[in-house]
Chains A and B, each alone.
Chain A
Amino acid sequence: MTVTVEDVVARYEPVIGLETHVELSTASKMFCSCATTFGAEPNTQICPVCLGLPGSLPVANAAAIESTIRIGLALNCSIATWCRFARKNYFYPDMPKNFQISQYDEPLCVDGYLDVEVSGRSYRIGIERVHLEEDTGKNTHVGQSGRIHGADYSLIDYNRAGIPLVEIVTKPVPDTGSAAPEVARGYVTELRDILRTLGVSDVRMEQGSLRCDVNTSLNAPGEPWGIRTETKNVNSLRSVERAVRSEMIRQAAVLAAGQRVVQETRHFLETTGDTRPGRSKEEATDYRYFPEPDLVPLAPDPSWVERLRAELPELPAVHRARIRNRLGVSAEDMQQMANAGVVDLVATTVEAGAPVTEARNWWLGYLAQKANERDIEPADLPITPAQVARIVELVGAGTLSVGLARQAVDGALDTGEDIDAVVAAKGLRIVSDANALAVAADEAIAANPDIAAKVRSGKVAAVGPLVGAVMKATRGQADAAAVRELLLERLGAGAATGDT
């Protein structure tokens, strides 16, 4: 029998927690002036500072500090009036200095919250801290294992080393029951939208500019919180949900068998949706944190912080409420659109004249599918809400069927041209209705009496040229099999098949 989350919550209560790392989209790195362009040739965006060469010193990037404070403000945090960077010491070759400049007991932002809507219910997720640190380089382990142990050799790209990284840590989140996986996903989704609205990060999970570690524990009702595991390598919104679900189910099985959950880091496997044990926390290094002596303390001027607060853009929840009000859709519909990242696309499509339902269906349906195929966000599709509105208009007017409309969308996506231009170029117009086809069929029969006579006499295979004529008349936009059947029917030859 397949165990579900519902089975789990019948016996246990989950507590989840999320640690999210966000690469900021500043023009330069955290502690030097190197560029941060994603995908550049390995080791071309490096200098003595981000390589940690002997003698080099860090200087903090003011834009990164500003972005971090804005994130903290958007998450309802208190902003420290004085704080410091700290060194996190451990040996790993992707870290040029063998310590990471991070923040420890004095983070820039603390004690905030984020409200997340899931299935019509609102969950308040406490934010423990938001702090700023530097990213590490990227290792590529070449060899069968794909990991450092057993690699034939390893390559290190330090382009990523020193890119500003913001870590956002939630407080433990209890009382989510069977919604825990959706709450986790909803939180990351909402956070992503906030970060995007703030314009502080590309927030591309697939490129690693938004990375998520998911903590999960279970406890019997009335008992203290259980031992938690930390699941890493969770690289999509869907994976966040799956990782929590699979960890709940796995831990429930462990507990049901009378065993203890091991406190450990686990690795999420995209292919199976399972988690596998990674590094055990019990043998984790002592990071020997201490205040970074190469950097002066940060003391954000409160008046500057207040100005940043005043200048925050309209945040997604407020924006959604406003849009929802305008569109007049249900909370569930709104949430669905938000999760798919299409709220603004739908709203703009409606503004351009499309009815809400159609606009929503297009963006959540065919266009979401196309974005998925291309592995991009719907907003990055080369089609505008105005074009989508035009499609809706053409369908509504009966000029295009849904199938033809999709062809028109495909054409627009491929060529980047206007919908009307695509429709004209492809000669798209509706021909699937019975009347139009019947007219074309009758015309073909009338124009080819000899062939029609042969078919009437039972030579069904002779119908080919007539089908061709109808197809030609409808400029290839009818279904050939349907045309064949229609012709045979009208010629009284029945729906015979297969006899040639």
Chain B
Amino acid sequence: MSELTRLSAAEIAGAIAVGEVSAEEVTRAHLDRIEQVDDVVRAFLHVDTDGALHAARRVDADRAAGRDLGPLAGVPLAMKDVVVTEGLPTTAGSKILEGWIPPYDATITRKIKDAGIVMLGKTNMDEFAMGSSTENSAFHPTHNPWDLGRIPGGSSGGSSAAVSAFEAPLGIGTDTGGSIRQPAAVTGIVGHKPTYGGVSRYGLIAFSSSLDQAGPFGRTVLDAALLHEVMGGHDPCDSTSIPQGVPPVAAAAREGAGADLTGVRVAVVQELGGEGYQPGVLAAFQEAVSTLRGLGATVLEVSCPHFDYALAAYYLIAPSECSSNLARFDGVRYGLRVGDDGVRSLEEVMSLTREAGFGPEVKRRIMIGTYALSSGYYDAYYGQAQKVRTLISRDFAAAFEQADVLVSPSSPFVAFGIGERVDDPMAMYVNDLCTLPASLAGTPAISVPCGLSEGLPVGLQVMAPALADDWCYRVAAAFEAAYVGTNGPLRAPELIGGAA
């Protein structure tokens, strides 16, 4: 494996900036790596070799011309296939969008391109971001580089696996109920879900509009922060985009790397632990809390009683919004069309298209959401879930009176075996127990690797108040510095030579 694929994004950008290596060389190294390992990892749905090389050469040309390069210029990136990319297939992991070539770029796609970041291709995901294992992809599962028999988390499992397997130093995921943080945790990388509205949703194929947020993956906290700064900021094309600029997350990551948390109040959330959590996960988490205390943090416990209802509320709100968001996939304008024989009615063609084009989990959620929004049920389900959401926000507000950040495991479990939970939706849904509260409250949260359990990565989740994403990065970076200083970085196996 080329050493270039081992470098962090910050290191790669630095090397390109001083001319030690060209962006094209970096891109080729990563394309080679994809070539070598992706038939076992299967992180990508579409590799854009020509587009990536073209983008890399442009960075090299810009540098040769003496033009200013952005802090991540020339750094390769794996893009989740839910983000719209002009001229490149975008499927959201679904058969129903197979063959659709978007005529426009998502705002974050444009920002990535403008920053000179090299998009290598589009990564696998649970269909329409619904799932926690990437097994709900309509195309194929993705394998965890730590153990190819296991899942890479989801729904952004393609991007997390790609970054973990050194196919790309950076990845973009989207997080609706934990789809960045849980895959980051189970593949041993860093993933951050920004404050809702902090990163534009324009061009994200919507699952649940009030919850969806795109965010960065990296193998280091600083890399994630650097990518966050490129992605974030107000977008007039997204009404829910907040006017505030991106918090100073890269500076916070650098500050945190000094490994000093003196005076920082860290609260452990009582409700996010205990029964139902794997002992190895809890042990790694306790160890992480000790480390934080060792860095000077004041550690306390808080109770957020309504977090217990987060799962129930989430599985009403997200399906309700998805039942409406996914209505447009009907075979009339783009994507799959089934049964259009000139005889069947419009309704039949729509119905056959949706029957054939959506997988079982998507159908399940459309059905749940359609039911929950129905006249006569709305108040009891959607309306009630929104009230729970408010109560969860109040729990957060009360907790943040006492603490600067809240911590928990990122997921109750380490990566489980492929196929282990596919027949039990509830067993799949509980993967999101730790991540749902911040999704429902729209507050930022990061997952940073905090050790191994049975040889598999465990993530530490750091949650901060809305707009205080920099606190997530600062605490995560301090923890990372301490952990790596003691244990060395967590790194997935080499995979070369048929590790499967």
Contact = CB atoms under 8 A, between A and B. Distances in A.
Interface in B25-41: none
Interface in A58-84: 58-60
Given A53-B103, A290-B324, A294-B239, 13 more contacts: A48-B102, A53-B102, A53-B104, A54-B328, A55-B102, A59-B237, A87-B324, A89-B373, A96-B333, A154-B346, A286-B374, A288-B373, A295-B240
A271 B313 CA distance: 55
B106 interface: yes
Interface string B309-345: 0000000000011011001111011100000000001
A156 B92 CA distance: 26
A57 B237 contact: yes
A172 interface: no
Contacts of B378: 288-290
Contacts, number: 102
Interface of B is mostly: loop
Nearest to B373: A288
Contact of A296 (B202, B240, B370, B373): B240
Nearest to A90: B327
A89 B239 contact: no
Contacts of B80: none
B97 interface: yes
A280 interface: no
A51 interface: yes
A55 B327 contact: no
Contacts of B347: 91
A290 B209 CA distance: 12
A48 B100 CA distance: 13
B350 A91 contact: yes
B206 interface: yes
Given A91-B350, A288-B374, A99 B92 contact: no
A142 interface: no
B160 to A, nearest CB: 21
B201 A57 contact: yes
Given A56-B202, A93-B346, A148-B346, A48 B104 contact: yes
A279 to B, nearest CB: 14
Contacts of B478: none
Given A48-B103, A290-B373, A97 B327 contact: yes
B90 interface: yes
A98 B239 contact: no
Interface in B439-471: none
Looking at B202, B327, B330, which has the most chain A CB atoms within 10 Å of its CB?
B327
Interface residues on B, range: 35 or more
B203 interface: yes
Given A93-B346, A288-B324, A294 B333 contact: no
Nearest to A287: B375
Contacts of B286: none
A290 B320 contact: yes
Per CB-CB distance, the 8 closest pairs between chain A and chain B, nearest first, are A98-B327, A293-B209, A288-B373, A293-B210, A55-B84, A55-B203, A54-B205, A286-B375
B204 interface: yes
Nearest to B82: A55
B238 interface: yes
Identify which of B236, B333, B350 gathers the most chain A CB atoms within 10 Å of its CB.
B333
A91 B330 contact: yes
Contacts of A87: 324
Nearest to B209: A293
Given A54-B328, A59-B236, A288 B203 contact: no
Given A55-B106, A294-B239, A99 B324 contact: yes
A273 interface: no
Nearest to A87: B324
A104 to B, nearest CB: 11
Contacts of B205: 54-55
6 contacts: A56-B202, A286-B374, A287-B375, A289-B378, A290-B320, A290-B378
A99 B327 contact: yes
A294 B209 CA distance: 6
A284 to B, nearest CB: 11
A290 B102 CA distance: 28
Contacts of A286: 374-375
B382 interface: yes
A177 interface: no
Contacts of A99: 324, 327
A52 interface: yes
A286 B378 CA distance: 11
A389 to B, nearest CB: 52
Given A57-B237, A290-B382, A51 B92 contact: no
Interface string B187-210: 000000000000001111110111
Contacts of B333: 51-52, 96
A401 B209 CA distance: 72
A97 B332 contact: no
Interface in B239-279: 239-240
Contacts of A287: 375
Interface in A414-450: none
B239 A295 contact: yes
A97 to B, nearest CB: 5
A96 B334 CA distance: 11
B138 to A, nearest CB: 15
B344 to A, nearest CB: 12
Contacts of B208: 293
Nearest to B205: A54
A55 B202 contact: yes
Contacts of B84: 53-55
Contacts of A154: 346
Nearest to A156: B332
A48 B237 CA distance: 11
B285 to A, nearest CB: 33
A98 B329 CA distance: 9
Contacts of B237: 57, 59
A89 B327 contact: yes
Given A54-B84, A293-B210, A98 B375 contact: no
A87 B323 CA distance: 11
Interface in B95-111: 97, 100, 102-104, 106
A298 to B, nearest CB: 11
Contacts of B203: 55-56
Contacts of A58: 239
Q: Select the residue from B201, B237, B328, B346 with max chain A CB neighbours within 10 A.
A: B328
Which one of A56, A57, A149, A296 has the highest number of Cβ atoms from chain B below 10 Å of its Cβ?
A57
A294 B103 contact: no
Interface string A23-66: 00000000000000000000000001001111111111000000
A52 B334 CA distance: 11
Contacts of A289: 373, 378
B427 to A, nearest CB: 28
Nearest to A158: B333
Given A54-B328, A288-B375, A60 B102 contact: no
Contacts of A53: 84, 102-104, 334
